[in-house]
Structure 1
């Protein structure tokens, strides 16, 4: 059978090192680490793999990824492209560092490994699916806010009557920046003339009412008073950047394919048919296997 993998091959290095479970004694050549409180042997490492859930999960990951790498190809360009998309969504360098920490990655290379795994599973679950140019274009037009950033300023006041006063001042031609400095209750942005920087249509941290109002504005336009939990905002868009379809076509294609992807359990069951178990200690490792597909919801 094509790409048949054996559990024995995964453990070959350990066994070659003398870490098989039949060992009855430990000599100096079998010691991996020495401490004053005791030593860690090759046999200890073997037992950690075969007798713990963590070890079984490691074997599952090694086997599944070896099979997938024999069936599909994921290039460095694909991984780096996805990494770039994540960085753009997260924000600047400091925010990206915080993102890595929150998601449990020690560094960028760990995230890249995770992305690579997710792409292999994506190819396995979407094999044979087709997406037309029309579907991609329609999705882009219907979700253009996702691919747009607007630089926004606002003036925040406590109540509707104050908002109407500010609105009238602006209609008389008074400068937005100066009014923000004097009238806005958001003291952080007020010191910058109300500037909030660039906001993404994908942002999940902002009040959705505020974000929806900002995304509707053209460059230079000012909104009517917008009510949120924080009070009333007068919003101005000072710049607007839209990614062209050509830059996000692959991303949209992936999104559309994911909607019709096969259940991951179906894929795992098919992969299980290609596994030949040679070590009795692993006979139950691939029974009732839960989804191992990396989830890039970070």
Structure 2
């Protein structure tokens, strides 16, 4: 579970294409070319350094030895992923330029100010810059690049003609990830109380009021309202009942690890017509991602990097040092024992 979380977070950071620092004195060689345009070793090492700082801060220095997949550590995965991301960005920048997409200085300043406004103060912003070994100039260049790529991809996908048949097909193929229901519930622990509440509901008493009076979870403050949720977001026994009910229907008593639920469905979005806007949005998002893949696959890419020779300057964690010391002591002890046994054997022979 920890590995999956790390991968998810890595994917989301690489997509944003964040910032840069300085890891070591870079040689004047390239690590890859994209349609004849170089990606320098210096730029690659800079990108690696920023991610190294980020992951060590979030997960600790022992993250690098975690195996993402059999035979591949997180360190190796990061080295490969950063370069692949740089290659993709380079190819997309080239295509965007071919289509005449530009980012004006005014647009850049607007984007930069929006980004900077996320920090509570100027001091916090400067701390961020310094801790990541970067300059404001590099930050602006990165924002310009991301704006250029996203503008091109957004324009591309919005200009594509999408038919109703395409959307309906997409919906049917992805129905379980799109459909949602909105429900309220009352959660109690006592079966007798649950049955009494259910009887009151059948007699017409207000669901929200009873939830406020009796429900033992935090939704009691909102009359039991859980909002909209899709499949896979609730525990199975709860989800199965909620999706089977019609709007306005009450469930019976539904038992789970949390207690006894009484569920009322208040809205449903389980047809193409009800979900059409969301379907088109998700479908165009899929086309967006497919275009990214297409651009990269059509690019002429040559890599000239030896990942084993890329030194991230990773320090051995105290735990690893302890393990290493322990192994050495164990080996020394075994050697001493062996010598003692040999010595005792010699004395007996004499």
TM-score by length of 2: 0.40
Q: Which has the higher helix share?
A: 2
Instruction: Find the structure with the greater CA-based Rg.
Output: 2
Structure possessing the higher relative contact order (Cα contacts under 8 Å, 6 or more residues apart): 1
